[in-house]
A and B are shown apart, each in its own frame.
Chain A
Amino acid sequence: NAGVTQTPKFQVLKTGQSMTLQCAQDMNHNSMYWYRQDPGMGLRLIYYSASEGTTDKGEVPNGYNVSRLNKREFSLRLESAAPSQTSVYFCASSPLAYTDTQYFGPGTRLTVL
Chain B
Amino acid sequence: KQEVTQIPAALSVPEGENLVLNCSFTDSAIYNLQWFRQDPGKGLTSLLLIQSSQREQTSGRLNASLDKSSGRSTLYIAASQPGDSATYLCAVSGAGSYQLTFGKGTKLSVIP
Binding site for B on A (CB under 8 A): 4, 31, 33, 40-45, 48, 50, 56, 58-59, 90, 92, 97-107
Contact = CB atoms under 8 A, between A and B. Distances in A.
Contact of A42 (B42, B99, B103): B103
Contacts of B104: 40-42
Contacts of A58: 99
Interface string B93-112: 11011111011110000000
Interface in B1-60: 4, 31-32, 34, 36, 41-46, 49
5 closest cross-chain pairs (CB), A and B: A104-B43, A104-B44, A98-B93, A43-B102, A42-B104
A48 B46 contact: no
Given A45-B99, A99-B31, 18 more contacts: A4-B43, A42-B4, A42-B102, A42-B104, A43-B91, A43-B100, A48-B98, A98-B31, A98-B93, A98-B94, A98-B96, A103-B46, A104-B36, A104-B43, A104-B45, A106-B42, A106-B43, A107-B43
A50 B89 CA distance: 23
Nearest to A3: B43
User: In the complex, which range does the number of interface residues on chain B fall in?
Assistant: 20 to 34
Contacts of A48: 98-99
Given A40-B104, A42-B105, A90 B43 contact: yes
A31 B43 CA distance: 18
Given A40-B104, A42-B102, A59-B99, A101 B89 contact: no
B32 A98 contact: yes
14 contacts: A31-B98, A33-B98, A42-B105, A43-B100, A48-B98, A48-B99, A90-B44, A97-B98, A98-B94, A99-B32, A104-B36, A104-B44, A106-B43, A107-B41
Interface string B66-102: 0000000000000000000000010101101111101
B31 A43 contact: no
